[in-house]
Structure 1
Amino acid sequence: MTTLSPTASDDGTIHLATVKQRHLKVPITLAVVTLLLAALFAFAPRDGESTFRLGDASAAVGLPDVAVPTALTAWTVLVLIALIAAAAFWLAWSYRDIPLWLTLLFGILGVFAFLTWAAADGLVPVTGLLFGAVSLSVPLVFGALGGVIGERVGVVNVAIEGQLLLGAFSAALLSSITGNPFVGLIGAMIGGVLVSFVLAAFAIKYLVEQVIVGVVLNVLVTGLTGFLYGALLVPNESELNRPVRFTRLEIPVLGDIPIIGPVLFNQTIIVYLMFVTVAVVTWALYRTRWGLRLRAVGEHPQAADTVGINVNRTRFWNVSLAGAIAGIGGAYFTLVSVPQFGKEMTAGLGFIALAAVIFGRWDPLRAALAGLLFGFATNLQNLLTVLRTPIPSEFMLMLPYVVTILAVAGFAGQIRGPAAAGKPYIKG
């Protein structure tokens, strides 16, 4: 990677000199993962056959199971990812950028090698694994999109956890009262907006430190929903905590595609809404006047102000929009995933969504893919428990968070967020 650095000649003239920099963070991370897999395969060897089920009982087109020798396949794939790690070192040492496809290939092969080792004399339902990953990632994706919009406009949204939790509570309550999941979905969006209103008011109008406001809001919403759960929902569970949930809607033809059909096209309204929201936000952020104004306010509010953009008003309304989107993620808990609201049911997923924002480099599509990665890690934890691998159960519970740390610290590289994120704007 090259950068321009100013240098002064003897006569005082300033010149821009090209300075080459080696970025070894990604190659080192790939090497560490390779060594960890090698240690796992060496000190906890597993033999037999690993079977991958590609078909699905509801699919129109059936695919046969694929069985591979466990040890031979795992070590063969390990050699391939070691070569990829070596290639990454060579590219970095040669001052070249490491292509994204190479890192993705490393990740796919690494997961395949690990699953092959874990599934010795067992079965990996590929469609079920991917379906569960998409399902678990829905709140993360909506939360990450809310975080991207908030930080792009200049407000650090640490309150994603609170927006998810209040959204889940509002959805359960209103869906139970009305018997209509769509009313619950609207209520979840309103719940997310209420949290974002408080965040915007303190961060934009009263110039309070945004991270502190976000943390306080998370604690406040956790306590508030916990109190209302015990005082309101538990005594009236049958009337107020039995939400009517969304059912799956299969898209004809597309739902019959092997493997990906049941995963992507046999889902609920909220999942389809997630696909649409990611596409619309990604397009609008870079292709519309709204997106241009939003990015201008988050990068250089003074310049935006000079061309007539009301900086604080733009921030306020876009933070509210971010809260509404995060609230949809909260609705997924009670309108799809779980049949009722429970105390602290979001379990810190708002903070993982915030990590997805950073890992995705404040880009909607990248952040959504990061959310899918973390959802996959969570579902992988459940599969490994079923396969009875020799990995301790305590580490199984740590797996999603270990993947989050590796992704943000190891693969995010040297990144820079929006220049004005977290900085209040005072006109004049």
Structure 2
Amino acid sequence: MTGSPTWHRDGGFHFAVGVEDTFVPQAGPGERPIDEYELTEHYGRWHDDLGLAVEAGAELVRWGVPWHRVQPEPGRWDWSWVDRVMDRYAELNLRPIVDLMHYGTPLWLNDQFANPDYPKLVAEYSAAVAERYAHLGVADYTPVNEPMIHALFSGEYAYWPPYLSGPQGLTTMTGQLARGFVLAQRAMADVLGDRAVFVHVDAGMRYVGDIDAPEHRDHAARLKEQVFLVEDLVTGRVGADHPLAPYLRANGFGDDDFAWFTEAPVLPDVMGVNYYPRHSTEVFEAGVFHGGGFRDPRPTRDDGVAGMNELIREAHARYGAPVMLTETCVTGSVKERIDWLDESVAALHDLRAAGVPVIGYTWWPLFDMYEWTYRHSELPREAHRLTMGLWRLEETAHGLARVRTEIVDRFRHHALGE
């Protein structure tokens, strides 16, 4: 794999791309499975797709393992596809940052993340992946991508399995995801030792507007702390004095839960922030209540690089680790995407010059993806395509073509100085 195992401490600025890897394989009435690798035909085009990352000048690729396919039954593993992909990474001297949990559990796991055995099972799976690919030098892992967003969609909004709702649902999901996170990282560390690099990733969210209005004050204050809740739990920061400790306790957390997390912390080697300028800042309006999420969204505001800089600084100040922008883009025209690429890269270089240890930049995704609304729709996938990628996806008689855009050259310019 390219680069040093201590790439995150070498003082450099590293460019990455991501392959969208949301997996929600459970189907139901009015609900189609989401498997972005299937939707984007990555399962068949992986060989050339990784070549695109090299063509763009990326050093790192955020890429996920489809647990639901790797472990189709309890105790049975099918590594055949992932083996070929990992060999391709080694062939290209390209370094994956491996997403182990990007929203989906195997179909055989009843109650999904609410299953009491989920934390143990996700740790066993994570250790199996680490063991399988250690000989190739694969050592960079994200145990859970965007765990707080995950907890909201599965635990408060009842939008994804296991369809829990309300404060108790959110607390249950937060606890389960955080326990799995801790056990998975500890299990991988046992396998990889000092070679392991753990990139913790969550969505950067900001709340602005009439946050001090009486009808919003308490809710907005909770949301501002809730952004960090899973990361605070896994890093042992949620004690009796944590602002959300009363909320957790009122919704099912007991003394044993608080003690478990404070006694068994896992720390990030890199703190990843996902920031989308047109979506990451939500606006509270006086006299209007929005619950949040897909069903009742608050309006958003594009605060551009100012919002990104705030979240990057806050992540470093809170956790002390080097920071990486682990997802960013705008959904828009090629020009709009190039403008955001130029502005955001320049802003991160300014942060570095100001002494903030920003070590990387990730354009997400490498090629277009399909919106999560596909799950609740009967329309063809093209109706849900998001124009986000360096490459455009185009329907042809032979499947989805990857169509190069001018953004590739601009990304390569930033990554390689060409």
Higher relative contact order (CA 8 A, sep 6+): 1
TM range (shorter): under 0.3
> Rg bigger for which structure?
1
Give the structure with the larger strand fraction: 2
- If the length of structure 2 is used for normalisation, what is the TM-score? 0.22
